[in-house]
Structure 1
């Protein structure tokens, strides 16, 4: 069954990882490095968007609420409705911070920063 935007409800995580992410201006902001799952609520906590660095060295990560990503077939990637300035000022993390405190601190900071309604309430 498709969602209101015409997307399927299910997708393999392996197909999501590596997909490019753009802002609405069409600027490439990175790619999906991973997806953090909330095992207790059976929900997706956030997508991990990698940017910067070279060959994995010095790379930083944005934790973007999954609900903020919309797949655009014409771009072959996901689009987020955040401005370049919002993304540049967004909290960034190293890989170990993403799962510390079971991801809840990053999740809450991310949803607050991007002003996305929390799925866990």
Structure 2
């Protein structure tokens, strides 16, 4: 990918992609911050189908019975640890709560992804020199 080219990302649940091994599929697992505070659960994964890589966790948190629930995009770069029932990120609860919200009617995706990376303090995956973190692999992914 050329530096500056940002591919379209798709929810894995809406794509033809799948996680290689069932034990690596983190959807449905609890998400905790670096102090162990529960933040919500992984609702879906955003995948770059061209490079066959997961780029964001879509974390669902807050609300009651789906009402008032908020969804936050968290770069996979923030994942510090994955266990059988939990994904721990290396950021705080406040950082997740204060993360930019995505509204497809109001925000350009490219601009939104850039704001999310800036918010969490990571270099974006489309920049030069980006190194992909160890995370769930898709079939055929190097």
The TM-score, its normalising length taken from structure 2, stands at 0.63
Q: 1:67 to 1:52 in 2, by over 3 A?
A: same
Corresponding pairs, count:
107
Residue 59 and residue 81 in structure 1: after superposition, are their counterparts in 2 closer, same or farther (change >3 A)?
same
Match of 1:119 in 2: 125
Which has the larger helix fraction? 1
State whether residues 17 and 34 of structure 1, in contact with CA within 8 Å, keep that contact through their aligned partners in structure 2. Answer: yes
For 1:7, the equivalent position in structure 2 comes to none
Gaps of 5+ in 2: 1-19, 128-142
For structure 1, which segment, 36-45 or 57-66, has the greater mean C-alpha deviation from structure 2 after superposition?
36-45
Matching residue of 1:3: none
1:80 corresponds to which residue? 89
CA change 1:76–1:85 in 2 (3 A) is: same
Confirm or deny: 8 A CA contact 1:46 1:107 kept in the other structure: no
Q: Evaluate the alpha carbon distance shift between residue 11 and residue 65 of structure 1 in structure 2; reply closer, same or farther with a 3 A threshold.
A: farther
TM-score, length basis structure 1: 0.72
Higher relative contact order (CA 8 A, sep 6+): 2
Q: Which has the larger radius of gyration?
A: 2
**Once superposed, what is the RMSD of the aligned Cα atoms?**
2.7
Could you give the per-residue CA deviations for residues 3-40 of structure 1, whole angstroms, max 9, x where no partner exists?
Answer: xxxxxxx5449831111100111100011011111223
1:85 and 1:41 map into 2 onto residues whose CA distance is 31
